[in-house]
Structure 1
């Protein structure tokens, strides 16, 4: 089982945001739908290990997010919906740091940078980047290393059609290699293009299969 979630509860200042009593997801690709503010981004960020929560999240029945944080985070990658980076750092600076943490090779970094076109502004400070350029940097980082699960929040936001097709190609490549995906979006993520195994609706603080 890829993900096993038990007694999950996320709240802000005692206000419940999302409750998932029990969920088991085998390896595959999942689309979490919901309007803005529904909690889908919070769910992905929590699975990525970025937010505290009550309950348990297990990866591959081996690594629990709070008990085994290092091996868990090594195997789960995440891209923000609207990434923001320190203005003075370049894509190169940021990606080198993340690549080391994710145990990515130089060859992998170079190939991804070329595919996504990030190499065109590799050494330029991110403070000069458009939102689309920043998004590509975040997407690149999500594919670094050898993750078991890649989480993409609003993956199509701010990127053009050509970049979207490149992203679809990258997802297909990783799917073929056995990598699972969690996609959170209020948009159609391209079910005709991507094989989606299951769709969930995030609504009224609950996660429902549709």
Structure 2
């Protein structure tokens, strides 16, 4: 079996008739990938397409087995996504959202509860998210991205708006999960500390397509 984590076949995305993404064929191997591109190039659109969160034409295969056409629900369960600027229903608490994700995606409840403490979320997880600062929302979003048993985690600008300790925790989580076989695609305008995580490669979004570098 191929070691690719994600395969894109004739994937196209238009907004109001304007082509935004056109990827004839791309295989992304398992590992940790840095998704790069200029502002407005379509990095976030790429992530949402891969995560199955917005409609597109074509097909995406996860680990050569799970098809976006034939089993989109399983695909979404096995791919987690954390937005650059997360928005959640304001009346829910962080614990409400965590319970929802655990019930939907499964996974190790004890492990994810430990991450609540390590990220420093325990002090406000029972408060409505309407009271959260941007940094608190970001930590919650990252926590949710590590719930369940994902094969692939997509992180959109994960290093912004969080403190230095949380960045170190994030590096540790990425390294731990990658050692367990989880792959990552990460956008970041800030360079990664390659002393802490080893990148498998870079993906470039330009001219409405994605290429491996």
- The normalised TM-score by structure 1 is 0.95
Q: Determine the structure 1 residue equivalent to 2:13.
A: 10
Q: How does 1:47-126 map to 2 (within 5 A)?
A: 47-126=50-129
Unmatched tracts of structure 2, length 5 or more: none
Distance 1:58 1:196 in 2: 22
**Residue correspondences, number:** 210
- Give the CA deviation at 1:131: 0.3
Work out whether 1:34 is the aligned partner of 2:37. Answer: yes
Q: Determine the structure 1 residue equivalent to 2:130.
A: 127
Q: How does 1:134-153 map to 2 (within 5 A)?
A: 134-153=137-156
- The normalised TM-score by structure 2 is 0.94
- Matched residue of 2:194: which SS? coil
- Give the CA deviation at 1:108: 2.4
1:31 and 1:199 in contact (8 A); partners too:
yes
Question: Which structure 1 residue ranges, 4+ long, deviate > 6 Å from structure 2?
Answer: none
Q: How does 1:158-169 map to 2 (within 5 A)?
A: 158-169=161-172
Distance 1:65 1:190 in 2: 33
Q: Determine the structure 2 residue equivalent to 1:179.
A: 182
Q: How does 1:180-199 map to 2 (within 5 A)?
A: 180-199=183-202
Distance 1:61 1:187 in 2: 31
Distance 1:190 1:180 in 2: 18
2:35 and 2:205 in contact (8 A); partners too:
yes
**What is the root-mean-square deviation in Å for CA atoms of aligned residues?**
1.2
Of 1, 23, 28, which aligns to 1:25?
28
Q: Is 47-56 or 179-188 further displaced after alignment? A: 179-188
2:36 and 2:202 in contact (8 A); partners too:
yes
Unmatched tracts of structure 1, length 5 or more: none
- Give the CA deviation at 1:189: 3.0
1:2 and 1:27 in contact (8 A); partners too:
yes
- Give the CA deviation at 1:37: 1.3
Q: Is 104-113 or 152-161 further displaced after alignment? A: 104-113
